[in-house]
Amino acid sequence: MTAEIISGTEIRKTILAEIKADVEEMKAKHGKVPGLVTMLVGKDPASVSYVTLKVKTALSLGFHEIQDDHPEDIPESDLLALIHKYNNDPDIHGILVQLPLPGHIDEQKVINAINPDKDVDVFHPINVGRLMIGGDDARFLPCTPAGIQEMIARSGTRTSGAEVVVVGRSNIVGKPIAMMMAQKGAYANATVTIVHTGTTDLSVHCKRADILIVAAGVPGLVKPEWIKPGATVIDVGTNRVGMNKTTGKAILKGDVDFDAAKEIAGKITPVPGGVGPMTIAMLMKNTLKAAQYALEDIR
Ligand code: NAD
């Protein structure tokens, strides 16, 4: 039987509509809307396109949005001073610094300078620690892992007691999603295994996964025969494997052989149109939450 496709494009639409309704409510109740500043240094084409999409999405939701672009050679101290200014601006609830930054700027120093209550990308060590503690302490969830968990939840996949295998141990995807799925609570409470480049045999672990989350960045890494029949497969991999000569757009492939895997899995995310569209939606959700916390004066 062919798997049910979990469409990130569709789920994103629902989430953005929910956020928009909450923004309207906030406006009516407090006369305020969520404020997001997006800071871009330099003109890296991928970063420009990500920031453009973030700005467009924020504006479409009725957020107060400041696009703060800077030349490649901005001194680190100037960038830190700007972050300090936004930390103290009551109309700004979320500060997003687009990464990577040029070599002369210490990325960690910049992340550490952001007020954790405005750290909507969830890279500040305090927020990483809060995620580890879980429960109410985990105020914000990092955007891509949060998108993955939403897709699992909204597709009706059972997580409690499930075997979850995460391929990849990066700080932005593998490690946080593994921790989130292992926490006690809704859409989690799973038994989690993390596999990576040091794992002797990936297939052994993947084969027992009720939920297989793949974030390796290696096209076609997961073979169809490694998938447990009926499993939910979340393919985070976004690999540029060529260029469409007609559209001029990159051809994207995931880490899973989608065509073969969809004949075995119960539910599966496509690439593109799966996890990708969810990330910015979750960034908007974090900005909304940051504004709600600030307006209710919750610390
Ligand atoms: P990363 O390179 O930082 O980490 C990849 C991880 O996969 C590493 O921990 C490594 O140990 C593991 N890995 C790599 N090759 C492996 C192999 N052959 N066997 C076992 N493990 C292996 O990457 P990342 O930032 O976590 O991103 C992973 C993928 O997800 C990339 O394709 C990236 O483009 C994509 N991604 C998508 C989104 C999104 O859709 N919004 C967001 C972040 C990352």
pLDDT band at 266 (very low <50, low <70, confident <90, very high): very high
Say which residue, 74 or 137, is predicted with more confidence.
74
Spot the catalytic one: 117, 121, 235, 255.
121
* Separate counts of helices (H) and strands (E) for the chain: 10, 11
Contact residues for 76 (Cβ-Cβ < 8 A; gap 6+): 104, 105, 106, 109, 110
Mean predicted confidence (pLDDT) in 110-120? 98
pLDDT of 163 reads 98
pLDDT band (50, 70, 90) for residue 136? confident
C-alpha–C-alpha distance, residues 284 and 234, integer Å: 22
- Residue count of the chain, please give it: 299
Among candidate residues 171, 273, 155, 252, the one with its CA nearest the CA of residue 215: 171
The pLDDT value given to residue 85: 98
* Ligand 1 site, CB within 6 A: 144, 167-170, 172-174, 196-197, 202, 215-218, 221, 236-239, 275-276, 279
CA of 255 to the centre of ligand 1 (A): 9
pLDDT number for residue 1 = 73
121 included as an active-site residue: yes
Tokens coding 45: 């084409």
In this predicted model, what pLDDT tens digit does every residue of 196-239 receive, in sequence order?
Answer: 999 999 999 999 999 999 999 999 999 999 999 999 999 999 99
Q: How many A from CA of 75 to the centre of ligand 1? A: 31
Omega of the bond leading into 90 within 30 degrees of 0 (cis): no
Report whether pLDDT(299) > 70. Answer: no
Nearest-angstrom CA–CA distance, 27 and 34 = 9
Using one digit for the tens of pLDDT, what is the confidence trace for 24-80?
999 999 999 999 999 999 999 999 999 999 999 999 999 999 999 999 999 999 999
Band (pLDDT 50/70/90 cuts) for residue 298 is: low
Rounded CA Rg of the chain = 19
